[in-house]
Amino acid sequence: MKPFTFTLRQEPPQRVDLSALAPDRLAGKSVAQIEEIEIGVTRVSTKVGDLFKISAGDLKSVRYEGGSSRFDLLGAKLLPGFEIHVEGDVGAQCGRLAKGGKITVAGSAGPHAAAGNLGADIEIKGDAGDFLAGPLAGELAGMAGGRIIVRGKAGARAGDRLRRGIIVIEGDAAEDLGARVIAGTIFCLGESKGRVGYLNKRGSIVLARGGCFGSTYVDCGAHQLTFARLLARSLKDHSAPAAALLSRKLRRYGGDTAVYGKGEILTPD
C-alpha cells in the first residue's frame, strides 16, 4: 500500500515538534484535521499544513519527502509495527522513547537521537549529533532497548549511560564514547578519541581500532567468545562490518575498574 507521505514545502521557520505526528496518533484523523495540528514551539504558530503537503496512505508506513535539522522528536514514542522514513535530515531527539517500529533517516540526525529508545530499530545514514542514545538532562539512564545504526560519524558522548540495546557507529566517534555506560553494547568501526568507556559499569564496547584505554581498563587476554558469534549473526543483515568485527578473535579489556568494573572493551587481537 502507498505510504502516508508528508512532502516538505519549505524549510521550517522555527524548530518543530513532530511528536504529535506519531502514526498511531494520526489514526482516524482526516487530512484537514492533520493539517491543523500545531507543531511550532514558540508563540508564533506553525501548523502541519504550513510545512507539509500531505498525501494520505497507509499509516503503518510514514514517509517524509524532505527533512530538516529543525525536525525535533521525529518518531517519538513510536509503537511496534510502524515505520517512518525521512528523505533528509532530522533534528534533536529522533526516536525519543520509541517502544518499537523502525525509523530510517537518509540524512543526518541532531543531538540525542534515540534518547530513551525502548525497542525501535533506527538507522541514520548520515552522521549523528552529540549524546547519541544518551539521556536528557536529569535522566538517570539513556537508551534502554532496541538498536541504532549510524552509517556516518557520531558526536561526543555517544552511548552515554546506555542501559540496554545496541549502538553501531560505522564511522568515527567523537570524545567520550560510551561514557557512564550501565549495560548494553556499543560498536565503533572508525576512530574513537578521548576517554572511551569512562566509568563503564557492565557494558560492552567493541572497537575496530584499539588504543590505550587508561589504567582503569585491564587486559584480560584474547578470546573467541560464543556471544560474539550469536551477535554477529543477528547484526549481519544490518551492519556487515560490525558482524565481521565480531567474528574475529577479540582482546578483552575489563573495566572500568574505577567503578563497578564488570564491563569490557573488545578490540581485534
- Contacting residues toward other proteins, per CB under 8 A: 119, 145, 164-166, 183, 185, 202, 204, 223-227, 229-231, 233-234, 262, 264
Nearer to other proteins, 9 or 223 (CB): 223
Cell 587481537 locates to 269
Compute the C-alpha angle 142/144/150, nearest 5°.
75
Tell me how far apart the alpha carbons of residues 43 and 180 are, in angstroms, rounded to a whole number.
37
**Minimal distance in Å, beta carbon 204 to other proteins?**
7
Tell me how far apart the alpha carbons of residues 56 and 200 are, in angstroms, rounded to a whole number.
46
Beta bridge partners of 147: 121, 166
**Minimal distance in Å, beta carbon 181 to other proteins?**
12
Q: In the structure grid, which three cell numbers stand for residue 72, read together?
A: 525535533
Residue 87's SS3 state is strand
Burial call 43-64: b when 16+ CB within 10 Å, e when fewer: eeebebebbbebeeeebebbbb
Nearer to other proteins, 92 or 148 (CB): 148
Nearer to other proteins, 193 or 233 (CB): 233
**Minimal distance in Å, beta carbon 59 to other proteins?**
24
**Minimal distance in Å, beta carbon 150 to other proteins?**
19
Of 164, 192, 182, 269, which is closest to residue 225 (Cα–Cα)? 269
Tell me how far apart the alpha carbons of residues 253 and 83 are, in angstroms, rounded to a whole number.
38
Q: What is the CA radius of gyration of the chain?
A: 19
**Minimal distance in Å, beta carbon 227 to other proteins?**
5
**Minimal distance in Å, beta carbon 186 to other proteins?**
13
Question: Burial, 131: exposed, middle or buried (Cβ in 10 Å; 0-12, 13-18, 19+)?
Answer: buried
**Minimal distance in Å, beta carbon 184 to other proteins?**
8
Tell me how far apart the alpha carbons of residues 104 and 127 are, in angstroms, rounded to a whole number.
13
Nearer to other proteins, 30 or 227 (CB): 227
